[in-house]
Amino acid sequence: MRTPALPDLDRLRPAGTKRSTKRDVIVNAFLRQEGHLSADDLVDLIRGEDQRISRATVYRTLQWMVEAGIARKVDFGEGRFRFEHSYRHPRHFHLICKTCNQSYEFLSSDIEALVEEVAQARGFTARQSVVQIYGTCEACRTGRAPAKGGATSEMLFARDALRIAIATERSGLDFYSRAARIAKDARGRAVFERLAEEEQEHLGTLETRYKQLLKEDPRLESQPTFLFFKGAANGLFAKGAEDLRREGIDDLEALKIGIRCERGSHRFFKRYGERFEDSEGKQIFLEFAEEERAHLELLIREYRGLVKRRQQRKAAAGAKRARTSASR
Amino acid sequence: MRTPALPDLDRLRPAGTKRSTKRDVIVNAFLRQEGHLSADDLVDLIRGEDQRISRATVYRTLQWMVEAGIARKVDFGEGRFRFEHSYRHPRHFHLICKTCNQSYEFLSSDIEALVEEVAQARGFTARQSVVQIYGTCEACRTGRAPAKGGATSEMLFARDALRIAIATERSGLDFYSRAARIAKDARGRAVFERLAEEEQEHLGTLETRYKQLLKEDPRLESQPTFLFFKGAANGLFAKGAEDLRREGIDDLEALKIGIRCERGSHRFFKRYGERFEDSEGKQIFLEFAEEERAHLELLIREYRGLVKRRQQRKAAAGAKRARTSASR
DNA sequence: CTAGGTGCAAATAATTTGCAGAGGC
DNA sequence: GCCTCTGCAAATTATTTGCACCTAG
């Protein structure tokens, strides 16, 4: 099992601050812990290591960590703040159990999109949003043991990013294979075939990566969804592949549908990749966005070429007709 | 302009508590104010009326109001709590401006639905959810005067509930008129015509009510959306009316589509009506749900009747055939 | 007359700050 | 040596509580 990447503290240190042993002790104790610590929890932890560190220093260090981007201050309405990791840990929302006071993390692109829409409709520039669901967690309700957390949100995010990418890749493969089958123009068919091949290959890479991730932490597979995103449940090309099933789709239309799909997909992955804090899931999204961009360009080039060739053929036919009628 | 309905304090008073002049002063001062007051804001307000009321009493009364359902405690992450009206004031989410510290209210059925889905997927029993969008409001960003709030959330909620109901009614009218036009069976046609008439009539009632609401407070019309709900933008029957445009829809199928629409619509209005705290918008939703339920029952009765009549006709035809072949 | 309600002052709880001394660069 | 970090104790802020007294039912 992988050790989570630790931040390079020297690099992150805010300008004009210097190293200190005590601070290191506090930061390390914080990073070693998971979940959401209150200042007091942290003081208790520290007390086990160094009796001589004062409460004030813990508060000051907490503030320092927030500035340095190592920690985020969160408010669960308890009348005091808690702190969570923020280094390579995507922003997320919370489920908060009022019974055991545990909190669980999730992310929803769908909710984020709606929140953005509301903000826009109200002329509001959103900088940050908080979504908290208060209630009772499964463990508390059923009395069974808590479902063994274990995996970090960062890993779950990577897992879900990969799952979404794989679903998209699969639907893309389906789309391009079908398009190649129905294409009449030889060049167009070649493009679709090439893209299908690429999707196939990339799908392999993604699946290997997914298996690798699971090997690093086998608990990942059974853990519940972290990133909720309806749009990609069946892959972003699913709608396009569906459209191809209609009667009488010609090459130009197939290209158009492909362009629409790649554009939507590129936009989605880029946008979400950029949104998240530095993390493996973010990387996956951005790489994927890049891939989609390349495909998009290829399709557009091919589309333009096809339109041009059709025009030339038409012009040639016109010229021929003119010659024929002249010679008559 | 209407004075907002004041709670009947005697009725709301929690069991085993008695009337008190001081408490009345505090509660009235709170109710007279709009927006989100901190305990301190309220103390300042009170000081203008009665110097002799202590801070502790204000805190105690605030607690009392929360228990009595007159106020809700909200946390905007400022390190202290604020209080908002809750009597006849629907639960909602917040946009919070970090520049002017003002907060704006909104509600989104869409977000609520997604939140519920997430909770369910995680085996979590949600009791309450918080959605807060932090950022900069339009007034602060553009430097222009704040867009003159004025109308209360309760009124905006009623406005939006009416708008959704009207859109649904309109699409319902469209649906039933079209269904009546294409119906072959005379009885079926009569049912559709009757429903179309009812929709027409009810639409009139709703529109009158809407105009009345605007007359009570003309600012309402220009105010931004409070309740966001995508599904109903074009009315809940829009999809059904669309389906009727397909070729070869017979009466039975039209009835089925109608049943699907009324059921969806009834479920929506009931569900959301029940969710909101007592308020005019809630009333509108619940009345509407009732209406839809009646229609639904009528359609189901008619559907069963039609199926039965067809069976009888088939049986009669079979018997006739049998007689014919026997006599041969 | 008795269970609340109220004022006042003191208690709590989380967090911040002033200041003098310690320590990194 | 300078500037930052640290401990300690005191201050601040929001909220609660103990207690003696007051007042509605």
Contact A207, A166 (CB under 8 A): yes
Contact A133, A119 (CB under 8 A): no
Closest by Cα among B109, B91, B90 to B228: B109
- Please name the nucleotide lying closest to A62, CA to C1': C15
Q: Is the CB of A60 under 7 A from strand C?
A: yes
Q: CA B181, CA B201: separation in Å to the nearest integer?
A: 19
Q: CA A216, CA A104: separation in Å to the nearest integer?
A: 22
String of DSSP letters for B228-292: E-GGGTT-TTHHHHHHHTSTT--HHHHHHHHHHHHHHHHHHHHHHHHHSPSSHHHHHHHHHHHHH
Digit-coded pLDDT (tens) for B68-82: 999 999 999 999 999
Strand C near-CB residues (< 7 Å), B 265-324: none
How high is the pLDDT of residue B58?
97
Digit-coded pLDDT (tens) for A294-326: 999 999 999 999 999 889 988 888 887 777 776
Q: Which residues of A touch B117 (CB under 8 A)?
A: 228
Give the CATH fold of the A153-317 domain: Ferritin (1.20.1260)
Task: Work out the angle between the directed axes of helices B21-32 and B39-47 (0-180°, nearest 10).
Answer: 110
Contact A100, A140 (CB under 8 A): yes
Give strand D nucleotides closer than 7 A to any protein Cβ.
3-10, 13-18, 24-25
Q: Could you identify the residue written with the tokens 């969710």?
A: B275
Q: Could you identify the residue written with the tokens 């069974």?
A: A144
Does residue B325 register a pLDDT over 60? yes
Instruction: Mark yes or no for CB contact B127/A137 under 8 Å.
Output: no
Helix (H) or strand (E) holding A86: none
* Residue B296: burial class (beta carbons within 10 Å; 0-12, 13-18, 19+): buried
Q: Which residues of B touch A95 (CB under 8 A)?
A: 118-119, 122, 124, 126
Give me the residue spans of the domains in chain B.
20-87, 88-146, 153-317
Query: What is the average pLDDT across B317-321?
Result: 81
Closest by Cα among B191, B202, B221 to B297: B191
pLDDT band at B97 (very low <50, low <70, confident <90, very high): very high
Q: CA A261, CA A258: separation in Å to the nearest integer?
A: 5
String of DSSP letters for A192-261: HHHHHHHHHHHHHHHHHHHHHHHHH-GGGGGSPPSEE-GGGTT-TTHHHHHHHTSTT--HHHHHHHHHHH
Question: Which pTM was predicted?
Answer: 0.88
For nucleotide C6, the protein residue with its alpha carbon nearest to C1' is B57
Q: Which residues of B touch A106 (CB under 8 A)?
A: 118, 122
Q: Could you identify the residue written with the tokens 């520049």?
A: B99
Q: Which residues of A touch B95 (CB under 8 A)?
A: 118-119, 122, 124
CATH number for the region B20-87 comes to 1.10.10.10
For nucleotide D5, the protein residue with its alpha carbon nearest to C1' is A20
Q: CA B41, CA B213: separation in Å to the nearest integer?
A: 32
Q: Is the CB of A19 under 7 A from strand C?
A: yes
Digit-coded pLDDT (tens) for B42-62: 999 999 888 899 999 999 999
CATH number for the region B88-146 comes to 3.30.1490.190
- Could you tell me the two tokens for A165? 């990418």
